[in-house]
C-alpha cells in the first residue's frame, strides 16, 4: 500500500473518531473535551497556569468558537448540529488543503534534488 494512501486512511479514521472526544466528556460528566481548555479551566484543573500558556493565551482565538456561529447559540439543536457539521467540514477542508500543499512542495523538492 502506498504511503499516501495510508496517510489518507489515517486521516479518515481521525475524522470519524474526532466526535468521540466531544461526546465522551459530556457522557461521563468530565467537563470540556480533551485539550480544549482555556487558561481559566487549566487553573481549575491543575492549580496553576503554565507560563507558556499564560504567555500565548491571547495569541489565538478560534475562527468558529464553540463550533457555532455568532448568534446561533440559542437557536436549538438543529442549528447547532448544522453549525458543528459545517465547522467540521471547514476544518477538514483546510487540513486536506494544507496536506496536499505540503505534499506538492515535497514532491517538487524531491524531483528537483534528483536532477
Q: Is the whole model's pTM more than 0.85, yes or no?
A: no
N-terminal to C-terminal alpha carbon distance within the chain? 27
Does residue 101 or residue 108 have the better pLDDT? 101
Mean pLDDT throughout 1-25?
81
Q: Give the separation between CA 36 and CA 45, rounded to whole angstroms.
A: 12
pLDDT of residue 31: 72
Q: What is the mean pLDDT of the chain?
A: 81
pLDDT bucket at 101, cuts 50 / 70 / 90: very high
Q: Which of the residue ranges 18-27, 31-40, 46-55 has the most confident prediction, judged by mean pLDDT?
A: 46-55
Other Cβ atoms closer than 10 A to 106: 10
Q: Give the separation between CA 95 and CA 101, rounded to whole angstroms.
A: 10
Q: Residue 107 has which C-alpha cell?
A: 514532491
Angle, helix 3-27 to helix 77-114, in steps of 10 degrees: 150
Q: Give the separation between CA 27 and CA 114, rounded to whole angstroms.
A: 53
In degrees, to the nearest 5, what angle opens at C-alpha 92 toward C-alphas 89 and 96? 140
Amino acid at each position: 500500500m502506498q504511503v499516501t494512501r495510508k496517510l489518507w486512511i489515517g486521516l479518515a479514521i481521525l475524522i470519524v473518531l474526532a466526535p468521540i472526544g466531544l461526546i465522551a466528556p459530556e457522557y461521563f460528566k468530565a467537563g470540556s473535551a480533551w485539550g480544549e481548555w482555556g487558561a481559566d479551566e487549566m487553573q481549575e484543573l491543575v492549580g496553576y497556569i503554565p507560563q507558556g500558556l499564560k504567555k500565548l493565551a491571547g495569541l489565538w482565538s478560534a475562527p468558529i468558537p464553540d463550533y457555532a456561529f455568532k448568534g446561533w447559540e440559542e437557536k436549538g439543536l438543529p442549528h447547532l448540529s448544522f453549525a458543528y457539521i459545517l465547522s467540521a467540514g471547514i476544518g477538514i477542508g483546510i487540513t486536506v488543503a494544507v496536506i496536499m500543499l505540503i505534499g506538492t512542495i515535497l514532491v517538487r523538492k524531491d524531483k528537483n534534488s534528483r536532477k
